[in-house]
Amino acid sequence: MCFKNKLQHIALAFIFAGSIFISAFAQEQQSAYSAADAPISKDSLAATINGESSQEFTPLSYRHQPSAFSPQKSSRGKLFLVSSLTALGMAGTYAAHIEPWWSGEKQGFRFKFDWVNNYWLEIDKLGHFYANIQLTRATASMFRFAGISRRKSLWIGAANSTLLYTAFELTDAGFADWGFSVPDYVANILGASYPILQDYYPVLQHFQFKISYYPSRYYQNDSYADAPGFIRYYPYQYPAGDYDGMRFWLSADVDPFLPTVLQPYWPDWLNIAVGYGASNLPQANRELKYRDWYLSLDYNLEKLPGNSAFLRSLKSLLNAIHFPAPAIRVNRHGSVAYLLRF
């Protein structure tokens, strides 16, 4: 694979140097489990929400029970392995994007301020936000496995996620089709920060961001994509670029916010979610594009039976996805009810 821009060399060096620095920090912070990492009961968290307790709680202890990656003690060998895999994984992710993303016309470094009503109707911003949440959590889980405390692992995960997406934006800045998108970068920072905020403010653990995807009619279909110069995905050649097929969801637990007398009647695994998507995004005619809003039921998979380390990890992983559920869609054409909507 040929690197076609000096910025790509710089970005890769930036990723490796940053990863080494973060790993060195992790080495200094390495420690075994502490009492602060003990799980918090549902009743205790509910008491906090209702203002009945002054106990200080630590992050992800209610929603995110210890996973298969939770360590019993610190290990320099594990930390070296995790640090190496993280650096190689980020560099590999960057390299994999070179051909599909950065093969267009080059230009001088420029910033782009596409805050609202942009070409993708903000679906791309939500994609940046969501991806950074998941990358932060995944990296944090790996460093937990290496013996780093939960909160420090989250900070390390956020730093690595921000590092990778900074490299993306620095490379975008040198291409005419993209530019360094300030709104994208803000979405990156906010996404990487959200798991940390959940750690400091446990009530946020009741609100999870999810994604659902079903291939759109534009996916690998020339007859629907008519935007001139649609270089990046023309037609949509990769699921990661099929923005018409994506929907992003904010899923909220219901039972902790119900009056105590009603909580036994609401399944704790059943959530309510608000979703957002958009249609006809590749079209050259902006009048054909429109936004879709959804109200749907959702599932908190972490509340389902199964308490083994493997099942806890699997449920936590799958809980980042919105699975088919009854929903209502509202857009400029009216509203539609679905028995199941993915």
Residue 60: inside a domain: no
Say if residue 185 is in the same domain as residue 217: no
Say if residue 4 is in the same domain as residue 127: yes
Is the pLDDT at 146 greater than 90, yes or no?
no
Is the pLDDT at 94 greater than 90, yes or no?
no
Q: How many CB atoms lie within 10 A of CB 21?
A: 12
pLDDT at 239: 77
pLDDT at 12: 63
Say if residue 213 is in the same domain as residue 318: yes
pLDDT band at 173 (very low <50, low <70, confident <90, very high): confident
Q: Which of 6-10, 187-191, 309-313, 335-339 has the lowest average pLDDT?
A: 6-10
Say if residue 17 is in the same domain as residue 27: yes
Say if residue 117 is in the same domain as residue 223: no
- What is the rounded average pLDDT of the residues 228-233? 49
Say if residue 205 is in the same domain as residue 180: no
Which of residues 200, 223, 241 is at a domain's end? 200
Which of residues 200, 231, 249 is at a domain's end? 200
User: Could you give the number of structural domains in the chain?
Assistant: 2
Is the pLDDT at 1 greater than 50, yes or no?
no
- What is the rounded average pLDDT of the residues 262-268? 94
Instruction: Considering only CA atoms, give the Rg of the chain.
Output: 21
**Cβ partners under 8 Å of residue 270, min gap 6:** 254, 297, 298, 299, 300
pLDDT at 103: 72
Say if residue 223 is in the same domain as residue 234: yes
Domain of residue 106: give its range: 1-33+71-200
Q: What is the pLDDT of residues 234-257, one digit of tens each?
A: 456 677 788 999 999 999 999 999
pLDDT band at 320 (very low <50, low <70, confident <90, very high): very high
Beta strands, E only, the chain = 111-112, 180-181, 207-213, 246-253, 270-279, 290-299, 325-331, 334-341
Residue 135: inside a domain: yes
pLDDT at 44: 47
Torsion of CA 147, 88, 109, 180, to 10 degrees: -50
d(CA 87, CA 16): 6
Residue 19: inside a domain: yes
Is the pLDDT at 264 greater than 50, yes or no?
yes
Residue 43: inside a domain: no
Q: What is the pLDDT of residues 107-134, one digit of tens each?
A: 888 898 988 888 889 999 999 999 999 9
Say if residue 326 is in the same domain as residue 214: yes
Say if residue 248 is in the same domain as residue 177: no
Is the pLDDT at 26 greater than 80, yes or no?
no
Residue 57: inside a domain: no
- What is the rounded average pLDDT of the residues 167-180? 85
Most confidently modeled of 65-79, 85-99, 253-267, 300-314?
A: 253-267
Most confidently modeled of 26-30, 33-37, 47-51, 227-231?
A: 26-30
**Cβ partners under 8 Å of residue 216, min gap 6:** 236, 242, 244, 245
Say if residue 213 is in the same domain as residue 164: no
Say if residue 93 is in the same domain as residue 28: yes
pLDDT at 99: 73
Residue 334: inside a domain: yes
pLDDT band at 269 (very low <50, low <70, confident <90, very high): very high
d(CA 196, CA 58): 10
Residue 52: inside a domain: no
Q: What is the pLDDT of residues 71-92, one digit of tens each?
A: 445 577 888 888 888 888 888 8
Residue 56: inside a domain: no
Is the pLDDT at 29 greater than 80, yes or no?
no
Say if residue 185 is in the same domain as residue 231: no
Is the pLDDT at 186 greater than 60, yes or no?
yes
- Average model confidence (pLDDT) for the chain? 80
Top-confidence residue, 202 or 225: 202
Top-confidence residue, 89 or 64: 89
- What is the rounded average pLDDT of the residues 166-171? 89
